[in-house]
Structure 1
Amino acid sequence: MDICRTTLCATVSELWRERNARIFTGSFRDYKQVSLVVINEVKMRFHNMKLRVLDNRINREASSKIQASIVYKEKEIRQCKWEPPPLDYIQLCADGSLTDEGGTCAEILRRHDGTMMMSYVIGVKGSTIGNIELEAIFGAFKSLCNLGTKSKSAQIPWRL
């Protein structure tokens, strides 16, 4: 369960409740009262729970405001080995990353013998990791087309 997602849901719910109260009963609360209700709602949901969340600035700030036992996930490092594509194929490898500082994507294009045709890293303006991953894949295909290679066949080593 994500602290930020739960906080966002509680906020939207409470804003909707406040909107309905203003429209249908003519009553209203100031923003401080609405904020306190949201904080209490989140505290109630996480009270005495043991949470395992990603270690980032937003989750640390949110966890300081609730009464839950927090265990931060370690980043997982995986080992991998490059497998060459078939003869006359080009292999596209693209990946995206989203951190508190922003998004980036990288791509590598290799011939069947492993020699690199092109590689680069760029900053991207994505708000979700899925969007950034798709930007990376799109960029890799665009680069392949712009290289003017005879073969447009590509092998992609990822699963969607």
Structure 2
Amino acid sequence: MAINASYAGRQYAPTDPYQVGRAKVRELAAATAATQPVHHDLVAARAAGYPDLVASPTFAVIIAQAAEAQLIEDPDAGIDFSRVVHADERFTHTRPIVAGDEITTVLHVDSITERAGLAMVTTRCELFGDATLTDHVATVRSTLAVRGEDA
């Protein structure tokens, strides 16, 4: 099955909130060698003016990938995940993500371009710190390269 190009321009319903926990913030910081105290030490984070531990900037990808599953798991989208290569990821933060946040995400399929047996699928996840979608936290833009069956 080929990628369904009609999905370009699609917007998915907001996700259920993702609960940002201290353990996950610390785990990702350790895994990515983010050594700043605000990622590990609650006292340091509060002394720096944050309400809780601060997630490293790439933490947003965890939340975005959960939202992108709506597209990947949609059988009508025609994406065979075994043929996916991650091509690009970009983050724009409005404010830091902190432990205790409940992040609601809206997934947009910005474009689908097919050339020579390769489909480039570009998504945009808008992350919000509230269910009313007024507290914008970050934008995650992602491009997936999906190899065709003959590639």
Bin for the TM-score computed over the shorter chain: under 0.3
Mark the structure with the bigger radius of gyration. Answer: 1
Per the normalisation by structure 2, the TM-score is 0.23
Higher fraction of strand: 2
Higher fraction of helix: 1
Per the normalisation by structure 1, the TM-score is 0.22
Higher RCO (CA < 8 A, seq sep 6+): 2
